Amino acid sequence: MRVHVGMIGVDAGLCWIGDPCYIHHDKNPKEWGKDWGEFCANLHKKESRPGPTLAQFNYDKGHAGLGVCVSTGLGDRAYDVHAEVNGKRIVSATVTFMKNEERLGEMYGGRVPASLLVAYLHYDLIGEKVSTPSIGDWDGGECEITQLFPEELDTNIVMRVKRISDGEEIGILHDERVTLLEPEPS
């Protein structure tokens, strides 16, 4: 059974998942740091790739399990927390950072940087329709996403799209804004 537990407030764009007994100590774990600034510095050292924060924190003896830190879907705000309950046991707890594509667009007035769309919805984007703006000789319009990260040598291109009206294709750069269109009813 899925139960709404409550909400968490986020003011750092981050969510910590771990045992709260390690937070209030006279001596914090090394990876946690002595204060917020040191925690952020340690977190920054762990971020070795672009994209959302996904960091494992280890106990002082070096093994995993102290906790994990992840960035939140839309930064600072309140997020719903649900638990999957089986009898008297908690099977899982889930923080929902983004409910759907519309939540992503809320923050950007509907037009979202292509890289942000790919970062959060990549697994569902092939075949989806987006509206693209006019870019250079490209007239823009309604397009279908045909490929993600198509150019091995140019990592600035995050998706390829094909315009519905004439089949012309173009690569969309990471900072170009697109609008994810609602699927047509079947």
**Separation CA 113–CA 178 (nearest Å):** 6
Cα separation of the two ends of the chain? 30
pLDDT at 108 over 60: no
**Separation CA 59–CA 65 (nearest Å):** 7
pLDDT at 90: 94
**Separation CA 117–CA 158 (nearest Å):** 10
Please state the rounded mean pLDDT for residues 54-67: 91
pLDDT at 45 over 80: yes
Q: pTM of the entire structure?
A: 0.53
pLDDT at 42: 85
Which of these, 18, 8, 14, 74, lies nearest to 44 by C-alpha position? 14
Buried b (16+ CB within 10 A) or exposed e, 99-125: eebeebeeeeeeebbbbbbbbbbeeeb
Q: Are strands 14-18 and 112-113 parallel, antiparallel or unpaired?
A: unpaired
> CATH 2.30.30 region(s) of the chain?
104-180
Q: pLDDT-based confidence at 53, cuts 50/70/90?
A: confident
pLDDT at 84: 94
**Residue 119: its H or E element:** helix 114-121
**Separation CA 32–CA 67 (nearest Å):** 9
pLDDT at 184: 67
CATH class of the region 104-180 = mainly beta
Torsion angle (degrees, nearest 10) of CA 163, 167, 168, 172: 40
pLDDT at 101: 52
pLDDT at 153 over 70: no
**Separation CA 160–CA 149 (nearest Å):** 8
**Separation CA 62–CA 155 (nearest Å):** 34
pLDDT at 31: 87
